Chains A and B, each alone.
Chain A
């Protein structure tokens, strides 16, 4: 009984922290709109151009057009590019003294991290909606039944949570906004290129392939591709297992880091 009420309190606190972030977004929605631009460009310009390339089309799974192949990749990319800089917010809040105040409440460290990660997840959903709408406009043929869309949102939330925790864990080590900005930039491209987001793993340089297999982004792209494009779901359990496990791992690391952050 005691354990149960502790667990409930833990999640309740995480949701309150997420609510706090959501309320901020409600007061200032510009960031949501601005963040829709980049993934739109990837899909509408890069995607359309690349789909003309025969080499690319020859290597993607049979029966898929390049845009079908790439749309899940852009979904994952949009989540990654935003979440990886999430740590900057936390450093900023530390500098302002907001973090100090949050940590003086009864909420546990890790429920605060979980709440912040959840808010990153919700932000990701807005972009995902924009990408899916654009794909429909470009007449990309996607499987858009409610279950597939729901599944996609779950993956988007998880992948945003995962990389925002990575970012917060790094933030607790580097401790300044400027350095955090640098780290974010150094990390996004390797994570993005060493995944199956915009080309199949089979045509990657061979030395980078192992990296793609330990990259949680690969698994989230794969999960969304299964649900939205191929409809072949048998690798889904593995995909989810990998994403959830890495999210929990980095959640723990970021929570441990939070203590260092303010002392």
Chain B
């Protein structure tokens, strides 16, 4: 069996009042971008913190590159980089100093250090602000700095806890580009959590959806979406025989509303539409409009957690905004 980057087996974390992580098992391949998705309080952060040996699990076993996190915590921490959910760069130091201290704590030899720090600052486009105090940074720059700190020791596994929360769309896209680049150029294994469906869809090779401490489902984004159901093609036509003609062509509409909308559930909607339209035309049905809706991760999320993700998102956003506010004041 090929060695995995991360293995989590029957992980349980019981707090006095809540079971934050409840018998979770999964594994992550080397070079994979793995996303944990879930509403607030699902146990995403707790899972990451146990993997990083910050909190001891109640039971279960976790391995990183075959090293047992309970038995050799220092070696595990040496292999990993961590960008916590909360702001974690030190506002009372410059950007350069923040990265310098990280480099030193990871035991980087002085000879390589200078060059390596310049490399990461450059990679994260912070070079022109490197000697500015961090408490003057914007949220996006702060996040990039935190990623720089986590990357300076070239981690084999990078943990990103909600990397783009609280950032504007532009800053968000910059971070996404970086994450992709990291994996493509350095084959870094990345485990991230997010509330953002779009982000998970764009970035992650595989996604685990967590809810109330349990792993509700796990798979590739396309697979998860397919499992929710196929694409939906909606045809609008004034022809009263439309439903019948569709049947003759071998399709059955799930809805047949009075205003002339017909919904079909199909696979590969975009390749099907031309054939469908030609078929209907041949049968003399005039189609006014046609639309295609692909299932989104949001639909997947809704199915497994019974909640739309937006609700959680705003709350977490406020919390983060509030935290960054207190640290500045």
Q: Which residues of A contact B (CB under 8 A)?
A: 9, 12-13, 16, 19-20, 23-24, 27-28, 95-98, 100-108, 262-263
Contact = CB atoms under 8 A, between A and B. Distances in A.
A106 B106 contact: yes
22 contacts: A9-B107, A12-B107, A16-B104, A20-B90, A23-B101, A24-B90, A28-B92, A95-B326, A96-B323, A100-B88, A101-B84, A101-B88, A102-B105, A103-B54, A104-B52, A104-B54, A104-B82, A105-B102, A106-B77, A106-B105, A106-B106, A262-B54
A22 B149 CA distance: 19
B325 to A, nearest CB: 12
B298 interface: no
Nearest to A263: B55
A193 B111 CA distance: 52
Contact of B77 (A9, A98, A104, A262): A104
B74 A97 contact: no
A131 B194 CA distance: 54
Nearest to A24: B92
A16 B101 contact: yes
A9 B74 CA distance: 12
Nearest to B146: A101
Contacts of B105: 13, 16, 102, 105-107
A101 B55 contact: no
Given A106-B74, A106-B106, A100 B101 contact: no
A182 to B, nearest CB: 21
Contacts, number: 70
Interface in B34-75: 52, 54-56, 74
B93 interface: yes
Nearest to B94: A27
Interface string B88-119: 10101110010001101111000000000000
Given A16-B105, A20-B101, A97-B86, 18 more contacts: A19-B101, A19-B104, A24-B92, A27-B133, A96-B323, A97-B88, A97-B323, A98-B90, A100-B86, A101-B84, A103-B54, A104-B52, A104-B77, A106-B78, A106-B106, A106-B107, A107-B105, A262-B55
Contact of A97 (B55, B87, B149): B87
Nearest to B80: A104
Contacts of A101: 82, 84, 88, 149
B77 A105 contact: yes
Nearest to B102: A105
